[in-house]
């Protein structure tokens, strides 16, 4: 495989999760299936995983799962990308979460492709700005950021 993009269950008790695992068992489960993804990934392949938050008893209420998996991740982590979705759970005793993490990983950091020009953001505030006669902006647009604002897709039925 050249690319895997996934969002596994977060082990937070959703109806589609068979059972809630202990935190250590959940981390072991993630390491197990990620090892299989790595086995099937080509040398130049990439792995993107979307992860949310979980409670770590006596340590934290909303700990990013990516923090708990980093030391056991079988891939090379290129970058964390923040998915800002703008709407979600309304909390009374903490700030309301409005983001999740994507981990952009590769099998081999020396054998990967990144086509910056193909993903440049054409929405440049001052596209023709010059300094000493030299264009300050790339004519294809600015570099995209590591924060992506993409609304959540919901059924509208309160689910």
At 103, which CATH number? 3.40.50.150
Residue from 19, 86, 91, 84 nearest 61 by CA: 91
Q: Which long-range contacts (CB under 8 A, 24 or more apart) does 114-123 make?
A: 116/143, 119/144, 120/144
pTM (2 decimals)? 0.85
Instruction: Determine, yes or no, domain membership for 158.
Output: no
46-59, pLDDT tens digit by residue? 999 999 899 899 99
56-104, pLDDT tens digit by residue? 999 998 899 999 999 999 999 999 999 999 887 788 998 988 999 999 9
Instruction: Determine, yes or no, domain membership for 105.
Output: yes
d(CA 105, CA 35): 13
Paired strand residues for 121: 142
Decide if 57 contacts 80 (C-beta within 8 A): no
Instruction: Determine, yes or no, domain membership for 117.
Output: no
pLDDT at residue 156, as a whole number: 60
Using pLDDT thresholds of 50, 70 and 90, give the confidence band for residue 16: confident
Residue from 23, 28, 30, 24 nearest 9 by CA: 30
d(CA 28, CA 74): 12
Using pLDDT thresholds of 50, 70 and 90, give the confidence band for residue 155: low
126-135, pLDDT tens digit by residue? 667 777 878 7
Instruction: Determine, yes or no, domain membership for 139.
Output: no
Domain count of the chain?
1
Helix (H) or strand (E) holding 35: helix 23-40
Other CB atoms closer than 10 Å to residue 107's CB: what's the count? 20
Mean pLDDT of all residues in the chain?
90
Instruction: Determine, yes or no, domain membership for 100.
Output: yes
> For residue 11, what are the domain limits?
3-110
Decide if 1 contacts 48 (C-beta within 8 A): no
């Amino acid at each position: 495989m050249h690319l895997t993009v996934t969002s596994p269950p977060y082990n937070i008790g959703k109806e589609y999760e068979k059972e809630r695992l202990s935190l250590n068992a959940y981390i072991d489960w993630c390491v197990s299936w990620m090892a299989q993804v790595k086995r099937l990934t080509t040398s130049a392949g990439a792995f993107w995983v979307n992860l949310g938050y979980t409670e770590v008893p006596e340590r934290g209420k909303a700990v990013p799962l990516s923090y708990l998996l980093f030391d056991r991740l079988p891939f090379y982590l290129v970058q964390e990308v923040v998915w800002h979705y703008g709407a979600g759970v309304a909390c009374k005793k903490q700030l309301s979460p409005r983001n999740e993490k994507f981990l952009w990983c590769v099998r081999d950091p020396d054998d990967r492709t990144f086509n910056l020009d193909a993903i440049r953001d054409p929405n440049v505030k001052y596209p023709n700005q010059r300094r000493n006669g030299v264009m300050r902006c790339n004519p294809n647009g600015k570099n995209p950021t590591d924060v992506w604002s993409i609304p959540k897709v919901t059924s509208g039925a309160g689910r």
